[in-house]
Chain A
Amino acid sequence: MPPTESGGTPAIEFRDVVKRFGDHTVLKGLNFTVSPGERVTLIGPSGSGKTTILRLIMTLESLTGGYIDVHGEPLTHEQRGGKRVALPSKRVRANTKRIGMVFQHFNLFPNMTVIENLVEAPIHVLGMAKADAVEKARGLLQKVGLSDKENEHPSRLSGGQQQRVAIARALAMDPDILLLDEVTSALDPELVDDVLQVLRDIAEETDITMLIVTHEMQFARDVSQRVMMFDGGVILEEGHPDDIFTNPREERTRKFLSAVLD
Chain B
Amino acid sequence: MSWWNWQSALDALPLLLQGFGTTLVATIGGTVIAVFLGLLIAVLLRTLPAWVNWLPKLVVAFIRNTPLIVQLVFIYTLFSMNEALIQVPALTVGILVIGIHYSTYMSESYRAGIDAVPQGQWEAISALSLPPVRSFRSIVLPQALRATVPSLGNYAVAMFKDTPFLMAIYVTELVRTAEQIGGRTFAYTEAFTLAGLIFLAASYPTSLLIRRLEKSLATY
Contact assessment for B130 and A58 in the assembled complex, using a CB-CB cutoff below 8 Å: no
**Cβ of A15 under 8 Å from chain B:** no
Contact assessment for A103 and B130 in the assembled complex, using a CB-CB cutoff below 8 Å: no
- In this complex, the member of B124, B126, B130, B134 whose beta carbon has the largest number of chain A beta carbons within 10 angstroms is B124
The residue from B129, B138, B139 contacting A96, defined by CB atoms under 8 A apart: B129
Contact assessment for B131 and A103 in the assembled complex, using a CB-CB cutoff below 8 Å: no
B side interface size, CB within 8 A: 17
The residue from A94, A120, A154, A155 contacting B128, defined by CB atoms under 8 A apart: A120
Q: How far, in whole Å, are A262 and B31 apart by their CA atoms in the complex?
A: 61
In the complex where A109-B124, A111-B220 touch, is A121 in contact with B139 (Cβ < 8 A)? no
**Cβ of A44 under 8 Å from chain B:** no
Q: How far, in whole Å, are A237 and B26 apart by their CA atoms in the complex?
A: 72
A52: shortest Cβ distance to chain B, in Å? 13
Residue of B nearest to A90 (CB): B131
In the complex where A107-B124, A111-B142 touch, is A121 in contact with B129 (Cβ < 8 A)? yes
For chain A, residues 101 to 119, give those with C-beta under 8 angstroms from any C-beta of chain B.
101, 103, 105-112
**Cβ of B47 under 8 Å from chain A:** no
For chain B, residues 138 to 184, give those with C-beta under 8 angstroms from any C-beta of chain A.
138-139, 142-143
**Cβ of B83 under 8 Å from chain A:** no
> Which chain B residues lie closer than 8 Å to A94 at the CB level?
129
**Cβ of B219 under 8 Å from chain A:** yes
In the complex where A110-B143, A111-B142, A111-B220 touch, is A58 in contact with B131 (Cβ < 8 A)? no
Contact assessment for B129 and A120 in the assembled complex, using a CB-CB cutoff below 8 Å: no
Residue of B nearest to A126 (CB): B129
Q: How far, in whole Å, are A112 and B128 apart by their CA atoms in the complex?
A: 15
**Cβ of A224 under 8 Å from chain B:** no
> Which chain A residues lie closer than 8 Å to B123 at the CB level?
58, 60, 103, 107
Residue of A nearest to B126 (CB): A60
Contact assessment for B120 and A121 in the assembled complex, using a CB-CB cutoff below 8 Å: no
- In this complex, the member of A58, A60, A94, A121 whose beta carbon has the largest number of chain B beta carbons within 10 angstroms is A121
The residue from B121, B124, B130 contacting A124, defined by CB atoms under 8 A apart: B130
**Cβ of A97 under 8 Å from chain B:** yes
> Which chain B residues lie closer than 8 Å to A103 at the CB level?
120, 123-124, 127
Contact assessment for B126 and A111 in the assembled complex, using a CB-CB cutoff below 8 Å: no
In the complex where A110-B220, A155-B220 touch, is A93 in contact with B120 (Cβ < 8 A)? no
**Cβ of A153 under 8 Å from chain B:** yes
Return the CB mask of A77-108 against B: 1 if under 8 Å, else 0: 00000000000000001101101110101111
Q: How far, in whole Å, are A13 and B139 apart by their CA atoms in the complex?
A: 33
- In this complex, the member of A94, A97, A120, A154 whose beta carbon has the largest number of chain B beta carbons within 10 angstroms is A120
**Cβ of A42 under 8 Å from chain B:** no
> Which chain B residues lie closer than 8 Å to A96 at the CB level?
126-127, 129
For chain A, residues 131 to 169, give those with C-beta under 8 angstroms from any C-beta of chain B.
153-155, 169
Return the CB mask of B204-215 against A: 1 if under 8 Å, else 0: 000000000000
**Cβ of A26 under 8 Å from chain B:** no
Contact assessment for B139 and A60 in the assembled complex, using a CB-CB cutoff below 8 Å: no
Contact assessment for A108 and B124 in the assembled complex, using a CB-CB cutoff below 8 Å: yes
**Cβ of A129 under 8 Å from chain B:** no
Contact assessment for A107 and B131 in the assembled complex, using a CB-CB cutoff below 8 Å: no
Q: How far, in whole Å, are A111 and B138 apart by their CA atoms in the complex?
A: 9
Q: How far, in whole Å, are A124 and B134 apart by their CA atoms in the complex?
A: 8
> Which chain B residues lie closer than 8 Å to A110 at the CB level?
143, 220
Contact assessment for B128 and A125 in the assembled complex, using a CB-CB cutoff below 8 Å: yes
Contact assessment for A121 and B128 in the assembled complex, using a CB-CB cutoff below 8 Å: yes
In the complex where A109-B121, A111-B139, A153-B220 touch, is A101 in contact with B131 (Cβ < 8 A)? no
Which 3 residue pairs of A and B lie closest in terms of their CB atoms, listed nearest first?
A107-B124, A121-B128, A107-B120
Excluding A93-B129, A109-B143, 19 further A-B contacts by CB distance (< 8 Å) are A58-B123, A59-B126, A60-B123, A100-B127, A101-B127, A103-B123, A103-B127, A108-B124, A110-B143, A110-B220, A111-B143, A112-B138, A120-B128, A120-B139, A121-B129, A124-B131, A124-B138, A153-B220, A173-B128
**Which residues of A approach B to under 8 Å, CB–CB?**
58-60, 93-94, 96-97, 99-101, 103, 105-112, 120-121, 124-125, 153-155, 169-170, 173
21 contacts between A and B (CB under 8 A): A58-B123, A59-B126, A60-B127, A96-B126, A103-B120, A107-B124, A109-B121, A109-B138, A109-B139, A110-B220, A111-B142, A111-B143, A120-B128, A120-B138, A120-B139, A121-B128, A121-B129, A121-B130, A125-B130, A153-B220, A173-B129
